[in-house]
Amino acid sequence: MSKDKATGNIRTWFKGGDPWIWLIGGAVSISVVMVLGLLLLIAARGLGHFWQPPIVETYNTQGAQVERVLGTIRQSETVTAQSVREAGYEVPLEQELVTRYLFKLGNRDITGSDFQWYIADNLQEFRYPETAVQLERREWGDFFGYLLRVKEAGETVAEGDQAFEVLQERLDRSNDLARQAIHLERYDIGALNRSIEQARLERRRIEMIDALDGAERQTQFDEIEARVAGYNAEYEVLRQELEELRRSARRDSLVAETSGGREVEIVLADVVRASAANQMSTGDKIVEYGHRFWDFMSGYPREANTEGGIFPAIFGTVIMVLIMSVVVTPFGVLAAIYLREYAKQGPITRIVRISVNNLAGVPSIVFGVFGLGFFVYFLGGNIDQLFYPEALPAPTFGSPALIWASLTLALLTLPVVIVSTEEGLTRIPRSLREGSLALGATKSETLWKVIVPLSTPAMMTGLILAVARAAGEVAPLMLVGVVKLAPNLPVSTEPPFIHLDQRIMHLGFHIYDVGFQSPNVEAARPLVYATALVLVMLILVLNLTAIAIRNRLREKYKSAGE
């Protein structure tokens, strides 16, 4: 009886539709969980990149062999024994599930592999030795080992407990020297190289002027030659200075023992940072965290982009977006004003409006193809023919460049600005417009003094959304202007200050490149997460700002309209 009642209940329950409401509600829950989960995942992985984990020492038994393992734990997971067996590990037959740890062992130059899975059952108890150090090196990734002593020009200066402290001091010195050397190389020598290249092009230009007679040409050549000789002399001085710096940086070294028991001597000039993780307090780790985060944001990439910082990528993204904004804002705003205020509201305007709308839905790669064909090869090629014939066949503007990337993105984001501005213009009450005109203002006065100021927030929204879209777009940029590694920023202290013909690095492309094109993806993975976090934060902040402005705007006109 009660059972019948229950089934009847269920039937009516289903008939009423309640369960279906819950089910479709579940779709929202899943979507929200996915979005938040994704953001959390990126945040956790990205922020975790800078935290110094403890250095674990343990022993791994594989068959009859016992080996010492020293490193940090990257990941642990439970998998079926079968899949581990297929990967070549020995697991007892009766066991069905195993836990395994991914150790970061470093020492790529010594052992060849810097990441290794270990089965938990084969590992002995974890220990955290105080003398264990993790060194971030300029080449070959990280080093893990036990610090033995610090040397100066071959003489031991510190041993045992004091060794690490002395190491830190001397590391500061060698890093300082390295910074000077890089500065010298990047700016002073870089500028010289540019001048020499300029002189070469100048010579070529003179060669191409047919009107010059031999003697005149020769005097100009001599003048250039003298200048180049001057540059070369300057270069020689700088080069010696650089060598001196480098030699001085190589004075100190450290000796450490690897987990395999080998003693290794490492020159401090090759070390970026040393941390004795197991001696650090939480406070130390927080300070260290700050340092690493700052280095990441302000540093240049190293080791095929898998280590170091992402400053050039951030800079490239920002400058590209800035140039894009300068182009797209006036153009987009004026076009929106035309469509809303000047154009006759007929079928043609409607078609144009729909087309502009639809332009936003066109795949971005199509804009990339257009940009490559039209901007780079057609416009750029012609500019080279006209203005830079001396550099041909090497292209100046005829190859992917900052300016073309910005213009392509401007085209891509044009609909965003137009649509948003138009929306702002429609929201302005008719009465304001009519009031202004009734007072005798001309149309342009009404426009500039009444309508435009009132719709500024809408334009801002459009611009911010455009910037957010542009900052995250990668596909078209791969064709028109980004590059995996640009040694120089696209700005300099000499005219023309902004080098529009240079290629740039870009955050989004950096993620793609490091995550999918680099030889050591496992080592680069945390860096990709951190880069992704920076990009996501940038875009979230921009978008939330835009949403906030838009909402405030709507409230404002809701009251004005009524």
Under the criterion CB under 8 A, does residue 359 sit at the interface with another protein?
yes
Q: Which is nearer to another protein, 42 or 489 (CB)?
A: 42
Single residue of 286, 322, 354, 560 touching another protein by CB under 8 A: 354
Instruction: Give the DSSP per-residue string, 94-109.
Output: T--EEEEEEEE---HH
- Dihedral class, residue 496 (left if φ above 0, else alpha if ψ from -120 to 50, else beta): alpha
Q: Which is nearer to another protein, 59 or 512 (CB)?
A: 512
Single residue of 175, 180, 198, 543 touching another protein by CB under 8 A: 543
Under the criterion CB under 8 A, does residue 416 sit at the interface with another protein?
no
Ranges within 304-333 binding another protein (CB under 8 A): 330-331, 333
Single residue of 66, 182, 226, 544 touching another protein by CB under 8 A: 544
Longest alpha-carbon distance in the chain: 119
Question: Is the Cα dihedral 534, 538, 541, 547 positive or negative?
Answer: negative
Ranges within 508-527 binding another protein (CB under 8 A): 508-509, 511-512, 515-516, 521, 525
Under the criterion CB under 8 A, does residue 343 sit at the interface with another protein?
yes
Under the criterion CB under 8 A, does residue 218 sit at the interface with another protein?
no
Ranges within 433-472 binding another protein (CB under 8 A): 440, 442-445, 447-448, 468-469, 471-472
Smallest CA-to-CA distance from 320 within 509, 194, 457, 183 is with 509
Single residue of 8, 11, 21, 389 touching another protein by CB under 8 A: 21
SS (HEC) of 413-480:
HHHHHHHHHHHHHHHCCHHHHHHHHHCCCCHHHHHHHHHHHHHHHHHHHHHHHHHHHHHHCCHHHHHH
Q: Which is nearer to another protein, 276 or 419 (CB)?
A: 419
Q: Which residue has the tokens 């030699």?
A: 247
- Least separation in angstroms between residue 65's CB and another protein is 26
Single residue of 40, 287, 334, 560 touching another protein by CB under 8 A: 334
Residue 377's H or E segment, with its range, is: none
Per-residue binder mask for another protein (CB under 8 A), 38-67, x = binder: x--xx-------------------------
The one-letter amino acid code at 382 reads N
First CA to last CA distance, the chain: 61
- Residues pairing with 132 in the sheet: 146
| Residues whose CB is less than 8 angstroms from the CB of residue 241 and which lie 6 or more positions away in sequence, other chains included | 184
- Least separation in angstroms between residue 330's CB and another protein is 8
User: Segment near another protein (CB under 8 A), from 212-220, 291-299, 308-316, 367-375?
Assistant: 367-375
Under the criterion CB under 8 A, does residue 94 sit at the interface with another protein?
no
| Residues whose CB is less than 8 angstroms from the CB of residue 245 and which lie 6 or more positions away in sequence, other chains included | 177, 180, 181, 184
Q: Which is nearer to another protein, 474 or 486 (CB)?
A: 474
Q: Which is nearer to another protein, 469 or 499 (CB)?
A: 469
The one-letter amino acid code at 9 reads N
CB 40 within 8 A of CB 114: no
> CB neighbours (10 Å) of residue 77?
10
- Least separation in angstroms between residue 17's CB and another protein is 2
Under the criterion CB under 8 A, does residue 356 sit at the interface with another protein?
yes
**Per-residue DSSP letter, 112:** S
Label residue 16 exposed, middle or buried (CB < 10 Å: 0-12, 13-18, 19+): exposed
CB 309 within 8 A of CB 296: yes
Single residue of 78, 281, 282, 559 touching another protein by CB under 8 A: 78
Q: Which is nearer to another protein, 293 or 512 (CB)?
A: 512
User: Segment near another protein (CB under 8 A), from 14-22, 135-143, 222-230, 269-277?
Assistant: 14-22
- Least separation in angstroms between residue 185's CB and another protein is 30
With CB under 8 A as the rule, give the number of residues binding another protein: 106
Q: Which is nearer to another protein, 242 or 343 (CB)?
A: 343
**Per-residue DSSP letter, 145:** E
Ranges within 126-185 binding another protein (CB under 8 A): none
Under the criterion CB under 8 A, does residue 547 sit at the interface with another protein?
yes
Under the criterion CB under 8 A, does residue 93 sit at the interface with another protein?
no
Report the alpha-carbon distance of residue 121 to residue 321 in Å, rounded. Answer: 53
Q: What token pair was written down for 228? A: 């180049």
Single residue of 34, 66, 120, 322 touching another protein by CB under 8 A: 34
**Per-residue DSSP letter, 399:** S
Single residue of 8, 11, 22, 491 touching another protein by CB under 8 A: 22
